[in-house]
Chain A
Amino acid sequence: MTVYITSTGHHLPGPAINNDDIEDILGRVHGKPSRLKKRILQSNGIQTRHYAMNAEHQTTISNSAMAARAAQDCLDQSPLNPKRIQQLSAATSQGDLVLPGFGSMVQGELGLRDIELHTSHGICASGMMALKAAYTGIKAGEHRNGLVVASELASRLFKSTRYEAAGDEVDFNAEFLRRMLSDGAGAMLLEDQPRGTCFRIDWIRGYSHADAYPVCMSVGSPTDPNDHRTWQDFPTYAEAEAAGALLLRQDVRLLDNIVKLGVDGFLRLLDEGRISVNQVDHVLCHYSSDYFRSRIFDSLVQAGAMIPEEKWYTNLYTRGNTGCASIFIMLDEFRRTQAYEPGAVILCMVPESGRFNTMYMQLTVVEAP
């Protein structure tokens, strides 16, 4: 069975927030402007992003409602009757509730009836994992279609009050992602028949390396590296928070691995004959920061496997880094704003730094007969 992406959608909450206004929303830790902000922003290159939170730290739209808006945007552009949707596959790094699964909450928001449900949990690659679940469901002939949604509401983690609760000193690893991540949702509709100009999914492939690398990006471990408890091992959640165990943290010294593992996966796909460098017309790569763009290019040039720079498309700089939703929001904007021909090959790449999981997808533009 062949699977097609026949529609896409997105939802970015509230107005675009520029670099000068970030702290008006997230707040200043202990009332002080961040010393690291400028450096981090310069390296990631992001100019504007969206937050589902206002300056009073009130959530303006829930994560599941954002996911549902993106899904609705996707469905609104398709003639498919939503009552005929057979499966829903949803991804996020953090739902609104700890339990049940995020997908259940999104289904409730959307009012989809009698569907088969999948929730994918993780960081940036979880959106692709959700997509693969729906894709294989159709490919196996279990379903004729599937709705896939990826949504992130990271800003709630970045309230200044949370850093204040964890003590006087903010470590760089906890501060780092505060300038990188923002909120948004994207959706795709998958069907076993093409419709109009759409994308055929040629393959989706992932390589995870958690056996060989330590945790790089996480929530749940205390600030003290010698304290091996996780957030639920503390007597109370208040004590876990005071120990910094509820802050999102990136072990920045491990981050360089993301480039080489991303390139490694790319070379594997070349070797397996799944990609041919000369045949790729567009590359959509979820690099989390502009800093990585040139690093990836250097590695690919060195390996003699570079795809010319003009073929790389991104909307990172204006939409922000929305984690697992990024590649969905990117493909949606690409579909609506860029020129592409039937037969064009699109390569999507999502390297995740959580514990190093990289995912790839190849699409071909097709025209329904």
Chain B
Amino acid sequence: MNQKVTTELGQHCLQGLLRIWFDFERQLGRVPVIQRLERDQFTIEDYRNLLLHLRQQVIEGARWITRGASSFDRDFADVRSEVIGHARDEHRDYEILECDYVAAGGQLADIQNGERNLGTEALHAFLMHRASQPNPIDLIGAMWIIEGLGQKMAADWAKRINACTNGDGSYTQFMGYHGANDDAHMDKLYALLDRVCVDAQSVKSIHRTARVVGRLYALQLEEIDHD
């Protein structure tokens, strides 16, 4: 296996991001709905509820990514291209998620009219705020967490959800898709780390945004049980 990040600052950034990711996984391990999933106590109602809350974040996802793309000036045109490509890949993913919700026994109107929970509000507001700053390279930290979820957790979650609810995979298409495709997205992120980690400040800002996004993402999942 070769190192995916080659510059010293890029590696320093990556080591921090790995630790932030491991910490994020532990935060998820303390969230009640995820604990039920890990301990085989997860029901189809839990799943519908999870989709209901996730959809509100997913639909906003492409918005902050495209906003972020527009905030990169000409010195970062290459980064902007990557980010635009990424947004295009994902900006209608929420439609798969809605289909899953209906296939799992939910009403389409319910998920389309759902509201952002407190965690989603905070996450969305933070991401839109960061995406509106000039050359927001720290958004790579946000993508690290959110793409990481797809790459590292979604396939496993889909498998567990199906096992817990006797599903045949027909209503876990969204998670199944991300589990299978986010590897390529992560590889692009590694390349970007080498590109944008030019000083200590850039590394710090990427780490900070990753930490905030991880915390708010976990909060979003915690809020599922507050309804």
What residues make up the interface of A, taking CB atoms closer than 8 Å to B? 209, 211-214, 225, 260-261, 263-264, 267-268, 270-271, 297-298, 301-305
* Of A214, A264, A268, A304, the contact of B5 (CB 8 Å cutoff): A304
Sample of 8 more A-B contacts, CB < 8 Å, known A212-B25, A212-B28, A271-B15:
A211-B26, A211-B30, A212-B27, A225-B40, A267-B15, A271-B19, A303-B14, A303-B18
Q: Given the complex, which residues of A lie within 8 Å of B28, measured CB to CB?
A: 212
Write 16 A-B pairs (CB below 8 A) sorted by A numbering: A209-B29, A211-B30, A212-B26, A212-B27, A212-B30, A214-B39, A260-B25, A264-B22, A264-B23, A267-B18, A298-B1, A301-B1, A301-B3, A303-B18, A304-B11, A305-B11
Considering only residues 131-156 of chain B, those with a C-beta below 8 Å from chain A are none
* Neighbouring A residues of B15 by C-beta, 8 Å: 267, 270-271, 303-305
Quote the shortest CB–CB distance from A253 to chain B (angstroms).
Answer: 8
Chain A residues near B35 (CB, 8 Å)? 214
Given A225-B40, A298-B1: A264 in contact with B30 (beta carbons within 8 A): no
Checking B1, B19, B26 against A268 with a beta-carbon cut-off of 8 angstroms, the contacting residue is: B19
Q: How far is the CB of A189 from chain B (nearest CB, A)?
A: 36
Q: Are A302 and B3 in contact (CB under 8 A)?
A: yes
A305 CA to B40 CA in the complex, in Å? 36
Cβ contacts under 8 Å, B19 to chain A: 264, 267-268, 271
Which 8 pairs between the two chains have the least Cβ-Cβ distance? Answer: A212-B29, A304-B11, A212-B26, A264-B22, A298-B1, A301-B1, A267-B19, A303-B15
Q: Does B121 contact A (CB under 8 A)?
A: no
> Complex Cα distance A298/B3, Å?
9
Rounded to whole Å, the gap between the CB of B6 and the closest CB of chain A is 8
Q: Which residue of B lies closest to A261 (CB)?
A: B22
Contacts of A304 in B (CB 8 A): 3, 5, 11, 14-15
B18 partner residues in chain A, CB cutoff 8 A: 263-264, 267, 302-303
| Residues of chain B contacted by A260 (CB below 8 angstroms) | 22, 25
Whole-angstrom distance between the Cβ of B197 and the nearest chain A Cβ: 12
Asked if B195 is an interface residue, CB under 8 A from chain A, the answer is: no
Inside 8 A of B16's CB, which chain A residues have their CB? 271
Q: Residue of B at shortest CB range from A268?
A: B19
Quick check: is B86 within 8 A (CB to CB) of the other chain?
no
The answer to the question of B38 belonging to the interface, with a C-beta cut-off of 8 Å to chain A, is yes
Contact B22 A297 (CB under 8 A): no
Q: Is B113 an interface residue (CB 8 A)?
A: no
Asked if B2 is at the interface (CB within 8 A of a chain A CB), the reply is yes
**B4 interface hit (Cβ, 8 Å):** yes
A209 — which chain B residues lie within 8 A by C-beta? Answer: 26, 29
> A299: nearest residue on chain B (CB-CB)?
B18
Residues of A contacting B29 in the complex (Cβ-Cβ under 8 angstroms): 209, 211-213
